[in-house]
Amino acid sequence: MDYEKLYHSYYMQVYSYVMTIIKNPSCAEEITQNTFFKAMTAKKQFKGNSSELTWLCGIARHLAIDECRKNTKLSELDAAASTSTVDIEKVTEDKDTALRIHLILHELQEPYKEVFQLRVFGELPFSQIGVIFQKTENWARVTYHRARLKIQERMAENE
């Protein structure tokens, strides 16, 4: 197989195909180059079951998908790194606020206390909270809202 002829014949078509997937010219160019390199060095040579362009686009597609996966993992790592460098003062402030809420919650009357805890800490939907108290979902919503207001009022008093 004449790879130089293959390269000159299909480079722009493969590049255009990769651009539709990646939408980044420099990355698409690199993937296109890697496509032709992989075609030349592949263990599985072109068998003629499809057109040469289809074969090359298949290689390019797999390389583009691999690149997208790699970029997704890198962006996830970047996001994790940025969230892990949280301001110490903010963390301390949040812990102080959480302690104040727990102290207020400890003194809160029932059913406000339990409804708030089930919703916030138990992450239960209002419908399930209503079932626990043998009341309606709307009752659970109103009770939770009133509990929040009571906590906010007491926090404002303590400031």
Query: 102-117, pLDDT tens digit by residue?
Result: 888 888 888 898 888 8
Both 67 and 116 in a single domain?
no
For the cut 50, the answer to whether the pLDDT of residue 86 exceeds it is no
Show the domain range for 113. Answer: 94-157
Question: Which CATH number do you get for residue 112?
Answer: 1.10.10.10
Report yes or no: 141 and 90 within 8 Å, Cβ to Cβ. Answer: no
43 and 103 both lie in a single domain: no
* Cα separation values, 1 from 41, 45, 52, 54, 96, Å: 12, 9, 11, 16, 72
CB 116 within 8 A of CB 108: yes
Shared-domain flag, residues 7 and 72: yes
pTM: 0.47
Q: pLDDT digits over 14-24, tens only?
A: 998 888 888 88
Torsion of CA 40, 15, 58, 24, to 10 degrees: 120
The CA-based angle 93-99-101, given to 5 degrees, is: 105
Do 100 and 149 belong to one domain? yes
Q: Is residue 20 part of a domain?
A: yes
Nearest to 36 by CA among 16, 60, 20, 13: 60
What are the tens digits of pLDDT across the range 28-83?
899 999 999 988 887 667 777 778 888 888 888 889 888 877 777 666 655 654 55
